[in-house]
């Protein structure tokens, strides 16, 4: 994540927003990309003042909603054979076992799988294409998709933004506290060593005087 954050930090703000929207959008279409890592990195950048958190959240929400809708369209037209082909191309992410678990989740939770799938790595990739392939009614899908995308994007962005601000403030205070403790430790150790050095000759003289 540090590499992604460093890479995003080298971009102008507008390019960061477009990158966040693009990566999350392509991931939501069914292509395994680091969408969540990109969002987390952008939110932490917002905590440092490089970008604005509201625009990061808006970009992430738009990418999620549009990407899922495009994924739904592709899944609706391609059906299950498309998902099988994607599984052969990305076996680690979209293999038969992952696809079976996603289908079980849809069968159990229905359209709610689209909403909660935004918070789960596997379903975040498969929710759109799988909903289309299973012929979930588009209006119900769009409602769950929009709600999940907005909640996920804004909650993740602002949670990381505030945590980053708190951590930055704490580390700033800790740096001053650490410097003060280091100075006190240095002065204390110097005083102790000097006192010990003065007492050692006195003890040697006492021992020598008591020797017959």
Q: What is the pLDDT of residues 105-115, one digit of tens each?
A: 877 887 888 89
Average pLDDT over residues 164-169: 69
For the ranges 108-117, 140-149, 192-201, the lowest mean pLDDT is seen at 192-201
Mean pLDDT: which of 91-95, 154-158, 163-167 is highest?
A: 154-158
pLDDT band, very low/low/confident/very high, at 195 (cuts 50, 70, 90):
low
Average pLDDT over residues 111-121: 85
With 90 as the cut, is the pLDDT of residue 55 above it?
Answer: yes
pLDDT band, very low/low/confident/very high, at 171 (cuts 50, 70, 90):
very low
What pLDDT shows up at residue 207?
A: 46
Average pLDDT over residues 121-150: 88
What pLDDT shows up at residue 96?
A: 78
Could you tell me which of 23, 19, 18 has the C-alpha nearest to residue 33? 23
pLDDT tens by residue, 65-105: 999 999 999 888 887 777 777 777 777 766 778 778 777 88
What residues contact residue 98 under an 8 Å CB cut-off, 6+ apart? 87, 122, 126
3-class secondary structure per residue, 181-198: HHHHHHHHHHHHHHHHHH
Average pLDDT over residues 23-40: 90
Could you tell me which of 24, 29, 26 has the C-alpha nearest to residue 128? 29
Q: Tell me the C-alpha distance between 89 and 9, whole Å.
A: 32
Q: How many CB atoms lie within 10 A of CB 94?
A: 25
């Amino acid at each position: 994540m540090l590499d992604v954050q460093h890479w995003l930090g080298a971009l102008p703000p507008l390019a960061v927003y477009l990158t966040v929207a693009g990566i999350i959008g392509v991931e939501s279409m069914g292509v395994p990309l680091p969408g969540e890592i990109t969002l987390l990195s952008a939110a932490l950048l917002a905590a440092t003042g490089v970008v604005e958190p509201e625009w990061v959240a808006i970009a992430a929400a738009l990418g999620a909603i549009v990407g899922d809708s495009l994924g739904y369209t592709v899944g609706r037209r391609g059906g299950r054979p498309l998902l099988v082909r994607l599984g052969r191309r990305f076996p680690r992410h979209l293999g038969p076992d992952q696809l079976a678990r996603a289908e079980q989740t849809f069968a159990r939770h229905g359209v709610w799988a689209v909403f909660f799938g935004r918070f789960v790595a596997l379903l975040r990739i498969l929710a759109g294409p799988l909903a289309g392939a299973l012929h979930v009614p588009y209006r119900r899908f769009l409602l769950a998709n929009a709600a999940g995308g907005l909640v996920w994007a804004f909650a993740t962005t602002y949670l990381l933004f505030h945590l980053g601000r708190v951590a930055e403030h704490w580390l700033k205070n800790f740096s001053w506290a650490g410097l003060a403790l280091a100075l006190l430790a240095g002065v204390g150790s110097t005083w102790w060593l000097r006192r010990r050095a003065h007492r050692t000759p006195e003890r040697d003289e006492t021992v020598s005087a008591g020797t017959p």
